[in-house]
Chains A and B, each alone.
Chain A
Amino acid sequence: MAGGVKKFVVGSFDDEAVLFPAVKNVRKQGYKIHDVYTPFPVHGLDHAMGLRETSLHTAGFIYAITGTCTALGFITWIFTKDWPLNIGGKPYFALPAWIPITFELTVLFSAVGMVLTFCYLCNLAPFVKKHHFHPRATDDLFVMAIECTDKTDDSAVQNFLQNAGAKEVNVQIAETGWWIGRYDKEQKLYKDEQGY
């Protein structure tokens, strides 16, 4: 959902080695980093920005346990209560023979659940559209967006970013959330932004 329109100072870096100290200094100055957009996962950047660890793997574990219980519960109910099959007088509760299916469902539930959770948390889905601060953020630039409040002096922030080594600095007024849209349509709100 749309998260509201805010004002950002955007600095684009072309080297992650310059980006790291910049992130550190920006935080030291007390500016609020909205996000940093990178073309590939830069290891350690999440820690540098002070983001907490993701709990996605915990969700994956819970889904996995759900899968295990579903498979075992379902097969047990079918083969001991609903329709017991006498196979050569062997026990109805034939646990060793159920291990393959139990394992497969554990993996299936965990994988599907995690991917859906991932998409939900990151607001990813077909036809979802978001504001992109720089089109080269998925190519070769590391784009830092600093959120401005009423008290922020954006020219000071711009100068600060320039000194920190940013190659391009600009101010953008942007929608922070997501909306349903197509990428071949112009962004009506922000036609004047640079780089588009």
Chain B
Amino acid sequence: MSLLKYESQQREPLVDGDKNYHQITEDIIGPIEAKPTRLWYIGFWISVALLLFGVYSVYREVVYGVGQWNLNKTIGWGWDITNFVWWVGIGHAGTLISAILLLFRQGWRTGVNRAAEAMTIFAVMCAGQFPIWHMGRVWMAFFVLPYPNTRGPLWVNFNSPLLWDVFAISTYFTVSLLFWYSGLLPDFATVRDRAKTKFRKMMYGVAAFGWTGSTKHWQRHESLSLVLAGLSTPLVLSVHTIVSFDFATSVIPGWHTTIFPPYFVAGAIFSGFAMVQTLLIVVRKVMNLQDYITMGHIEAMNKVIVLTGSIVGCAYLTELFIGAYYSQNIYEMYVFQENRANPFTPYGWSYWLMMFCNVVSPQLFWSRKLRRNIWVTFFMSIIVNIGMWYERFVIIVTSVYRDFLPSSWSTYYSPSIWEIGFYLGTFGLFFTCFFLFAKYFPVIAVAEIKSILKTSGENYKAKMTDIEKKDADRFYQEDVAHAH
């Protein structure tokens, strides 16, 4: 068995500063044990207020019906489904970081995976709200589940993409939650074992499930993480593929296209990474974790943003080429040439806003200087999130606001205050959860950071100069093939 102790100095350290194992515990668990700051309280209560406004907006929708929203004859899916797709997409970055980057053995994932997975879970929780409340008679929501009933039994339609969505989203949520929590067990045990107050000992004692750190348990834990990563990788690709099927399998011009699955998945990862940047840039500053979420981490994520942003751009242009010209289908061509690309039609502006935010602006990140600039990154992450919201809006609204019957063309759809309130409410839910997470959970995977410290920690890397001077044979004998 080899124990690789050496990592090239060309690679940036993943943990800055003079750290040892105990210092890592102090840095990451410390904020949990301290009293929340004033800033935390302000942020938390603003989130709760937003959440309550959302609850009231949903209450109105349940009592008075979907008529509380400005949906109309042709636009049956407006803000509601736009927000659903947007939130599901946000979630994808967390799984990409925790699963796909684990399979690719990317060391930098250790600094950001915990927070990104939390973001995934909260984002999927928010996403789930939209189709559920969109049903109108929400008390019948359980009809989407295939259970023996007195109506026949009449089953759900397993051939329908909307039902695939039910399975995809609920599986995605469950698997993400299990993956996240199994990773949290050892870190909860760390909090438990250093807890000073009785209450904390009890709570984290329950949360840690009696984790001891036994070698056999770690061996199983590693195996579990690897297989869950292997399962989550196709899962995350399948989830947004299935979401795109909601559109692609219909025969609406603008939706009926086979390019959607890869295009949606790339877009999802793109928007998800933007949200991770927004959150982590704030978290690392407020919780003083710059040594663990370094400029190197931020740069790595910006590279993913420019890659996925360019894939999305490529997809937009392909779609435009096919839809507006190559299909030679007059309905398809009308959607692209008039409803979307023509800036003088009612929603033309949203198409060009989307193009600017998602295709043009991420190209800034080809510059290393801008990739490593905190303010540019933060600003860009917001721009990308706005752009990706407009992508879904463009797909949904511009495809349906002018249907096959011109007499029913609606001139303009703008959301009602309760539609907006519902969206704001999900922001409230998301940030309420995230604030609680940041206060009571280890926001960085403590055990995983410890496992990369001796190869990727700044102070350890500094000692590798001597190793680099050795000739290859001695290097292999002493530092790579460590025979135990």
Contacts and interface: CB of A to CB of B under 8 A. Distances in A.
Contacts of B9: none
Interface string A46-69: 111101011011001000100000
Nearest to B217: A122
B205 A183 contact: yes
A44 B1 contact: yes
B224 A118 contact: yes
A32 interface: no
Contacts of A51: 215-216, 219
A178 B168 CA distance: 37
A110 interface: yes
A157 interface: no
A13 to B, nearest CB: 12
Interface residues of A, number: 73
A124 interface: yes
Interface string A62-91: 001000000000110011001101010000
B202 A184 contact: yes
13 contacts: A20-B482, A38-B215, A39-B190, A42-B215, A54-B223, A57-B223, A83-B153, A85-B157, A100-B164, A101-B164, A108-B175, A112-B178, A124-B209
Interface majority SS (helix, strand, loop, mixed), chain B: helix
Contact of B231 (A111, A119, A123, A124): A111
Interface string B357-397: 00000000000000000000000000000000000000000
Given A78-B146, A115-B178, A104 B238 contact: yes
Interface in B127-180: 146, 152-155, 157-159, 161, 163-164, 167-168, 171, 174-175, 178-179
B205 A138 contact: no
Contact of A107 (B2, B164, B206, B231): B231
A140 B231 contact: no
Contacts of B484: 20-21, 23-24, 44, 47-48
A192 to B, nearest CB: 19
Contacts, number: 219
A132 to B, nearest CB: 6
B213 interface: yes
B222 interface: yes
B469 interface: no
Interface string B212-247: 111111111111101110011011001000100100
Given A85-B157, A137-B213, A140-B22, A184 B201 contact: yes
A124 B223 contact: no
Contact of B190 (A54, A108, A126, A138): A138
B212 A82 contact: no
A79 B212 contact: no
